[in-house]
Amino acid sequence: MSSITPLLSSPGRELLAHWEHEGAFRSLSPMDLALAIRSQVADPEVASAIASQLQLRTQAEKKFGSLARTLLWTRDGYEQATRWVVARLHAQRFLDSGAHHIGDLGCGIGADSFAFARAGMRVTSFDINDEALAAASANLSAFPSCHAEKRDVTTLRGEDFHAYGFDALFADPARRTGKQGGSKRITSPEDWSPSLDRVLGWEDSIPHLGVKVAPGIPYDLIPEHFHAQWASVDGDLLEAALWTPELAPEGAGRSASVITDDQVHTLIDPQTQAANSQPRQAECGPLDSYLFEPDSAVIRSGTVACLAEQMGAHLVSESIAYLSAPTLCTTPFASAFEVIDHVNLRVKNIQQVLRALNVGRVEIKKRGADIQPEALRKSLKLKGDAEAVIIATRIGGAHRAIIARRISGGEA
């Protein structure tokens, strides 16, 4: 029996609602919570399902905010679900394109389906996993025109899509083995379920096609006429998504969507007009007064050169994504640091600078340098009161340690 099943009927449904309303679970340890629920219901499966669901909802608040407490979750579903702010962006693309009936292929617990439904579109969601389907069905139950059903999406063809009346498709190929297989990541797009090639071929039947893929997808696997967008939320790189021309008003190419505090910032390189083209190379120059670390979505999308041009900055070493400029430029697309000094990447040299600055706490970052941050931290043996950032990287061809101060967004 699915762990969701006991929550779909009495007494599990009512007890779960009771615990949500009371809110007492937040102050209880997992053991105390299990014992408290067990005292209210005789069936251990029902008690276990309620305790697990309360804990999963608490974890899912990181992705869905308060809405997480209104949905049903599975462990795999939580790990694979799209963040709510990103799911809303997906939904907006379909809405703006005029889509009416979306086939959500590999829906999991229905996070994106829920966003599509909330935006007013009809959704038919497919998944092969019974537990995920139970959650997705419950999560879509408030929308009469939406439902989830069991289908192996790897077998679906164009005639199936037309039979359902779809005018748009959203696909999220399985990229993990699931909990029974150890939840291991599947790296090769040919081994995804369904494979990337198969999913991309669905464009021939339904031109409105969006595909959620791993952020590390190589450019040469993306059709040149697609638009590929990498998304990060509060500094965490989450996904790349591929969009056919009908869903991409930006046109073909690549972009970065950087989301901070629910504010969406998009960086598009107008000189990159094919999704599979190689990224442009930014100019290199010396280390200046300020150093900038581009967001991971910017780096993955190959828009570092575009960002450098917008900021009036340059790389400090070819192929390493640190930018530098003589003046401070605040941007949502990069973290900023004020350069204090830079020395050889040796413990003794770094110690001398930090002790002179009375530094006792350091944040250590590295890119293009083979060091172990924790080993370096222990070797420094710092005792001061001030804070600093050590950035281990290359300047030109030489390994250096940049001593810097992180600049907060409100300092400019």
Structure tokens at 349: 């040299």
**Rg from Cα positions in the chain:** 25
Instruction: Please report the pLDDT score of residue 1 as a whole number.
Output: 60
Q: Tens place of pLDDT for every residue, the chain, 412 residues?
A: 678 999 999 999 999 999 999 888 888 988 999 899 999 998 999 999 999 999 999 999 999 999 999 999 999 999 999 999 999 999 999 999 999 999 999 999 999 999 999 999 999 999 999 999 999 999 999 999 999 999 999 999 999 999 999 999 999 998 877 655 556 888 899 999 999 999 999 999 999 999 999 999 999 999 999 999 999 999 999 999 999 999 999 999 999 999 999 899 999 999 999 999 999 999 999 999 999 999 999 999 999 999 999 999 999 999 899 999 999 999 999 999 999 999 999 999 999 999 999 999 999 999 999 999 999 999 999 999 999 999 999 998 899 999 999 998 656 5
Q: Is residue 333 within 8 Å of 307, Cβ to Cβ?
A: yes
- Residue 374's Cβ-count burial label (10 Å; 0-12, 13-18, 19+) is exposed
Q: Is the peptide bond before 11 cis (omega within 30 degrees of 0)?
A: yes
Beta-bridge partners for 401: 343, 392
**Which two structure tokens, joined as six digits, stand for 216?**
């590390």
Query: DSSP states of 105-157 as a string?
Result: ET-TTTHHHHHHHHTT-EEEEEES-HHHHHHHHHHTTT-TT-EEEE--GGG--
Measuring CA to CA, how many Å separate 19 from each of 25, 123, 183, 315?
7, 31, 30, 54
Q: How many CA atoms lie within 13 A of 279 on its CB side?
A: 24
> Rounded to whole angstroms, how far apart are CA atoms 17 and 365?
45
- Both tokens of 155, joined, read 């077998």
Threshold 0.85, pTM exceeds: yes
Both structure tokens of 194 = 């369904």
Report the side by side order of strands in the sheet with 334-344.
Answer: 314-315, 323-325, 290-294, 334-344, 398-407, 386-395, 359-366
Q: Which residue has the tokens 């899509």?
A: 161
Within 13 Å and on the Cβ side, how many CA atoms surround 39?
5
Number of residues assigned to the chain? 412
- Written as one string, the DSSP assignment of 275-302 is TTSPPPPPPB----SEEEEE-HHHHHHT
